[in-house]
Amino acid sequence: MTSAVWRSLPYVMGGIGYTVLITLIALAVGFLIGTPIALARVYGKRSLNLLALGYTVVLRGVPSLVVLFIAYYVLASAVNLPPFLAGCAALGICSSAYQAEIFRGAIQAVSPGQMMAARALGMKRGQAIVNIILPQALRNAIPGWSNEAAVVVKDSSLVYAVGLAELMRRAQQVNGTLHEPLLIFFITGAVYFLLTLATSRLLSWVERKTQIPEMVVAR
């Protein structure tokens, strides 16, 4: 039976591509939604700030699987959205709430003097945000964003619930035939660990490469 598990590994590993693609799309969706939400939290008027706050509070309080089911059974049916895109959109929307808070903290970590200096040089508020504040904030956000990326890698396994043939779904299918849960899911867990580790290492490298030496506090 163990030899059958090893023979099935190429099929299970074939789901890695799906897992990586789902993760990348979900992170991109989360970034595109989360960034303006963060800006609304910091620079928006009171009404806009409250809307952005409500968005993050609600989505951080609802399980990702619930959002996934709503996207798959309700939204996908209404607009004829393929299950793959519905899964990516659901995970991206959930991630956007966490990314918004990461970016909000990173924006607030930028010295207020940066905005005042930019305005003193004649920049409009929007120009100062885009050209001065955001580049620094995005650099500050890399450590927190690295953690969120690792979470999304693991959350990508949730799309097995809507039938997508990613890593977890394939592992389940093989286990349903071979009934070797310990070995099959140990291997699957090890793959998720390696994907998460690779993601964290990659973003740690990006953080080092984008550091400004003058801004690094000597230890």
Query: Which residue is it, tokens 């953080």?
Result: 207
Tell me how far apart the alpha carbons of residues 52 and 39 are, in angstroms, rounded to a whole number. 9
Which CATH number applies to 2-215: 1.10.238.10, 3.40.50.80, 3.30.460.10, 1.10.3720.10?
A: 1.10.3720.10
pTM of the model: 0.88
Q: Tens digits of per-residue pLDDT, 194-205? A: 999 999 999 888
For the segment 10-45, what is each residue's pLDDT rounded down to a tens digit? Answer: 888 888 988 999 999 999 999 999 999 999 999 988
Q: What does the alpha-carbon distance between residue 151 and residue 22 come to, in Å, rounded to a whole number?
A: 13
**119 vs 43: CA distance, rounded Å:** 15
> Average pLDDT of the chain?
87
Q: What is the DSSP letter of 217?
A: P
Share of the chain above pLDDT 70, in %: 96
pLDDT level of residue 214 (50, 70, 90 thresholds)? low
Instruction: Write out the DSSP string of 83-151.
Output: HHHHHHHHHHHHHHHHHHHHHHHHHHHS-HHHHHHHHHTT--HHHHIIIIIHHHHHHHHHHHHHHHHHH
- Indicate the domain borders of the chain: 2-215
Give residue 211's pLDDT: 74
